Amino acid sequence: MNDIQSGTPVQQNVKPSTEDNLLYIAIKYKSAIIGALIFLVCLGAGSFFWMRQQQTRELEAALQLSRIAPFLDRGESNIAINGDGKIVGLKKIADEYSGKYAGTPSGNMANLLLANAYYSINEFDSALKVFKTVSIKNNDLAAAALAGAGDCYVSKNQFVQAAESYQEAAKQAENNVLKAQYLNRAANSFQQTNELKKAAELYTKIIADYPGTTGAATAQRSLWQISGNL
């Protein structure tokens, strides 16, 4: 269009279409887009193969765990821990298949069973070390590991640490019966260090929060026993 007075052309600002914008971006950032697409494809393939590998590892761990289970049932803890030459023990299964990130469900369960096996033969330091490494998705089983650590502390007469571990177990557990049980153990640990006020507070909490449970009945009896010393 010409300016009527001056006779000079007037430029019009034409807004580029969406298609033009996309084409411009595609041309300008072609290398980056291609690189990103290749990365996503590789990431997807890597995830697929990792999942397949984890499935294979879980089957291996589950099979090995099933072979060691009879020794646990018979209370043969030393064999369960170390194996018998032909059958792999819990320690090796846990070493190979447990862990927070690359562990498998059966491998992580083997780690928990390993800690329990150590505890059953009074190897409290070894049991405590393993209990602290247990990584398991089920909240009640994770709580059991924390409570197991608490049991180890009690066996080592470290009652402050035991109380802390039991309270963490109570927070982690989903089952109310377990919550009440762990809090009772924590309160009892406080009693062992003559922290009767803390013990009484926990017993009162158990009675109020978990009425009708065995833990509540136990807490009531314990509260009566220490009430004269508060």
* Dist CA 75 CA 88 (whole Å): 17
Domain count, the chain: 1
Supply 48's token pair. Answer: 């697929």
List pLDDT tens digits, range 15-43: 445 545 555 544 555 555 555 555 555 54
* Dist CA 1 CA 213 (whole Å): 90
Q: Which residue has the tokens 């070390």?
A: 129
List pLDDT tens digits, range 144-194: 999 999 999 999 999 999 999 999 999 999 999 999 999 999 999 999 999
84 domain residue, yes or no? yes
Supply 13's token pair. Answer: 């600002």
Could you give the maximum distance between any two Cα atoms of the chain, in Å?
A: 109
* Dist CA 170 CA 172 (whole Å): 5
117 domain residue, yes or no? yes
Handedness of CA 95, 99, 103, 108 (dihedral sign): positive
Average pLDDT over residues 204-209: 96
* Dist CA 144 CA 68 (whole Å): 21
146 touches 169 (CB < 8 A) = yes
pLDDT at 1 over 50: no
Residue 2 phi/psi, 5° resolution? -95, 145
pLDDT band at 229 (very low <50, low <70, confident <90, very high): confident
54 domain residue, yes or no? yes
pLDDT band at 53 (very low <50, low <70, confident <90, very high): confident
Domain limits at 88?
A: 44-137
21 domain residue, yes or no? no
pLDDT band at 86 (very low <50, low <70, confident <90, very high): confident
166 domain residue, yes or no? no
Supply 110's token pair. Answer: 């083997």
| Residues 6 or more apart whose Cβ sits within 8 Å of residue 139 | 172, 173, 174
107 domain residue, yes or no? yes
229 domain residue, yes or no? no
62 domain residue, yes or no? yes
Residues pairing with 9 in the sheet: 2
